[in-house]
Amino acid sequence: MDQLGQSIHRAAQTINQLKQSIQRTAQKKDQKWLISGILINKKPLVNG
Distance (Å, rounded) from C-alpha 9 to C-alpha 18? 14
For the chain, counts of helices (H) and of strands (E):
2, 0
Distance (Å, rounded) from C-alpha 35 to C-alpha 46? 16
Summarised one tens digit per residue, pLDDT across range 1-23 is: 699 999 999 999 999 999 888 87
Question: How does the average pLDDT of the chain come out, rounded?
Answer: 74
pTM beyond cutoff 0.75 = no
Q: Which residues contact 19 (CB under 8 A, 6 or more apart)?
A: 34, 38
Domain residue spans of the chain? 3-47
CB 41 within 8 A of CB 34: no
CB 34 within 8 A of CB 26: yes
